[in-house]
């Protein structure tokens, strides 16, 4: 079981992702915006972060960059989970340090696969 931080400003998205994460047997932690996500990552040191991109305060690209540049949190893989579906967005996200990129809407299987591959386990 992994501890997974879900960062999303949409209560319905947060609840939906949390339901899937917990169904897969993982512990779900949540944060409602990018800055809260950075703070939670430093405080909780989760095994994986699922990060939305379009959020108030810090967006997901900025939050990912802050997490991967901090020596205390750089080891935590970040998967961007977003409606931004352009190839340039995906490339930019990966340049910020994300280890994966999943576009909304996604299936439960797609999310499970992204989690498994980011945690280094077979899906």
Q: Please state, for a pLDDT cut of 90, what percent of the chain lies above it.
A: 95
Residue 120 pLDDT class (50, 70, 90 cuts)? confident
80: left (phi over 0), alpha (psi -120 to 50) or beta: beta
- In this prediction, residues 68-82 reach a mean pLDDT of 97
Q: Count of alpha carbons within 13 Å of 59, Cβ hemisphere only? A: 10
Q: For residues 89 and 121, what is the distance between their CA atoms, to the nearest angstrom?
A: 26
- In this prediction, residues 90-110 reach a mean pLDDT of 97
60-69 helix and 34-44 helix, angle to the nearest 10 degrees: 30
* Predicted model pTM: 0.96
- In this prediction, residues 71-89 reach a mean pLDDT of 97
Bridge partners for 73 per DSSP: none
Do 98 and 81 meet the contact criterion of CB atoms below 8 Å apart?
Answer: no
pLDDT of residue 122 exceeding 80, the answer is no
What is the pLDDT at residue 121? 61
What is the pLDDT at residue 123? 44
Backbone angles phi, psi at 8, to 5 degrees: -160, 140
């Amino acid at each position: 079981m992994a501890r997974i931080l879900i960062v999303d400003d949409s209560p319905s998205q947060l609840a939906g992702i949390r339901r899937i994460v917990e169904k897969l047997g993982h512990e779900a932690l949540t944060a409602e915006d990018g800055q809260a996500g950075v703070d939670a990552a430093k405080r909780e040191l989760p095994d994986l972060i699922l990060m939305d991109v379009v959020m108030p305060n810090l967006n997901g690209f900025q939050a990912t960059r802050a997490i991967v540049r901090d020596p205390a949190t750089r080891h935590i893989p970040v998967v961007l989970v977003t409606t931004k579906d352009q190839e340039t967005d995906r490339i930019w996200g990966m340049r910020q340090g994300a280890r994966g990129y999943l576009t909304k809407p996604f299936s439960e299987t797609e999310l499970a696969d992204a989690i498994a591959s980011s945690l280094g386990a077979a899906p």
